[in-house]
A and B are shown apart, each in its own frame.
Chain A
């Protein structure tokens, strides 16, 4: 059966992509791993490799127009497959006349005729219908915009499981990493090469991009956490009783930040061309870890939610992250991010801004520290907060005012009432 070449999903929230340029021509022999075309997303242009070796046909024109992810853009006919038999037409975003669409040729002509009698189907559908895959594998493939037929199954009678889909995803580099991918063959002494998973790819590209476009500057403040700790102790059990989840320091900090951010519009803004977009709501992203990858679910409309509501929502997001049911919608639309690594014993650190936001707050651990109070040295629970800001729209004084408000609100949370 010919192998379909689909427009891959190379970015988490990507729904369409475009073919910028083909690197091969109709009828060329391509080897697995060869660069086939350049795919354009709203963030970058990347190269897409051949999923198999064979003769490539039915190329969708490189128009630069948006095409839905998962759409077949070409077919690779394997050795021995007669391309002239029933060439599977690629489905461009403007669907060709349906009657012209035939199921792709199968290695044996009769089988094709008997297994796919209804030639009204979309090629991808016709291919998928004969594939053994678990419901979860199909769902995972759907979420990542890959055709299930592309995946090699490891289960009984070739059944495809979720693990196979994930392995397939990890194998399919969408960024131009072929040089690195081939390195181990030439220099096997260099150690194991761990290919980027889809999430790691996004992290790598987004954070590199952020460092490139946003001139970061950093501002630190040591803040007394005593009042916040007391507040958490007092209201924690009540909120837990009400919503079933105990509020964490992180969610309390989200509440505090949401309370002061409306007074600092440039820290709740995005650069758009030569302008700053001031966001009408405060959507706080919380940096979390899942299986070694960074994920940032978003507490939406945080300025209008009380601590109990935020706690409940945070609990839902944390569970969805752990259960891998987190939806792209839950991670979109952040306007400010908090990253708390205090629980790992980190004293302080600086973070890279999560584009297109303009600032990120990095929180270190709370540690009893000798400080001067009224001429005495006393031990106070202190934590170091580091704000990274985008100097294109946030100046030093702007950030310093935010930090002053942050200190006041943390040391005297009553000011938020």
Chain B
């Protein structure tokens, strides 16, 4: 086997963790474009609270991997300003929960400026937000607030579920001339998957059908897409053929892919970690109910979302407050067997 072929094989089977894939995307973007810089609490010497930025400060120096004081408002405001002047800031909100402190800059400034200045000013910034529960970090460090931002025109909100997509979508986000929020589930950071070498893009706004099936459609993003795929494999052993759609992007949302699937399966289960009420599931259900796909529903839509409580610290309760694989299995069975 020639060295060239070996390299190609090596590249084809290369696996990285989700965190490594993000770090690789950041490095590629910083190498390609000197306007790209990282900004956030402990992203430098410490390597990031979840180790995502790692050694980047040593590779690109403290001028481009900047440790900031503990002020999310300050980080976000400085990033908006830098983006308007033509820089490409990538900021990290250490825990996505703390984004509440940066709401003014993200929602009132970043999302609006391009519109209010008639396109003369743009805000090409990326906000990375580690979110989700499962790490025993309690109510103020475990939330899934992505639906809040998906409600705001002017923002893009993405939630990749695989290392491959994390790298490709982050690179697409850095390219984007508008603010993009990428919600990274903390439990996904250590998951491994194939990640191609080099520069590639996964488009924002396009869902992925992770598994084709005929009996029902399960829609989820981030870790819920992962749990849905695992559940679907078990369902297959019971003779239930579930189609799994990984949304990947909440705004813009790929309604066409969902619609085509429900038109085929006639049953829809939406799974999301955010609190069930007024969430992503409500939006997707309403989109289906409003569209001509309504006539193809052969069962009520099921939403499986987070419990209506601040996330508990107790690990048993924490798990119970968020959809797990068993909950998806159970809901899918009810739906497929006509018990819903």
Contacts and interface: CB of A to CB of B under 8 A. Distances in A.
A135 interface: yes
A325 B298 CA distance: 15
A325 B295 CA distance: 12
Contacts of A323: 263-264
A136 B339 contact: no
Given A162-B266, A323-B264, A134 B339 contact: no
Given A154-B338, A156-B340, A134 B264 contact: no
B298 A134 contact: yes
A66 interface: no
B297 interface: yes
B294 interface: yes
A133 to B, nearest CB: 10
B200 interface: no
Contacts of B299: 134, 155, 161
Interface string A180-207: 0000000000000000000000000000
Interface string B280-300: 000000000000001111110
Contacts of B338: 154-156, 161, 163
B291 to A, nearest CB: 11
Contact of A161 (B295, B296, B298): B298
Nearest to B334: A156
A124 to B, nearest CB: 19
Contacts of B264: 323
Nearest to A325: B263
Contacts of B297: 134-136
A135 B339 contact: no
A156 B339 CA distance: 6
A137 B266 CA distance: 10
A136 B340 contact: no
A134 B297 CA distance: 6
A139 B266 contact: no
Interface size class of A (residues with CB under 8 A): 10 to 19
Contacts of A138: 295
A136 B266 CA distance: 8
Interface string A133-164: 01111110000000000000011100001110
A137 B298 contact: yes
Contacts of B295: 135-136, 138-139
Nearest to A155: B338
Interface string A238-282: 000000000000000000000000000000000000000000000
Contacts of A161: 298-299, 338
A162 B264 CA distance: 13
A323 B294 CA distance: 16
B339 to A, nearest CB: 6
A362 to B, nearest CB: 32
A167 to B, nearest CB: 12
Contacts of B298: 134-137, 161-163
A135 B340 contact: no
A136 B296 CA distance: 5
A328 B306 CA distance: 45
Contacts of A135: 294-298
Contacts of A325: 263
A134 B338 CA distance: 11
Nearest to A133: B298
Contacts of B294: 135
Nearest to B289: A135
A137 B294 CA distance: 11
Nearest to A134: B298
A137 to B, nearest CB: 7
Q: Which of B263, B295, B298 has the most CB of A within 10 A?
A: B298
A251 to B, nearest CB: 23
A217 to B, nearest CB: 43
Contacts of B263: 323, 325
A138 B266 CA distance: 13
A161 B296 CA distance: 11
A154 B297 CA distance: 16
Nearest to A137: B298
Given A162-B266, A323-B264, A139 B296 contact: yes
A283 B266 CA distance: 33
Nearest to A164: B338
A138 B338 CA distance: 16
A200 to B, nearest CB: 22
Interface string B112-137: 00000000000000000000000000
Interface of B: 263-264, 266, 294-299, 338-340
Given A134-B297, A136-B266, 7 more contacts: A135-B297, A136-B296, A155-B338, A156-B340, A161-B338, A162-B266, A325-B263
16 contacts: A134-B299, A135-B297, A136-B295, A139-B295, A139-B296, A155-B338, A156-B338, A161-B298, A161-B299, A161-B338, A162-B266, A162-B298, A163-B298, A163-B338, A323-B264, A325-B263
> Which 6 A-B pairs rank lowest in CB-CB distance, beginning with the nearest?
A136-B298, A139-B295, A134-B298, A135-B297, A162-B298, A135-B295
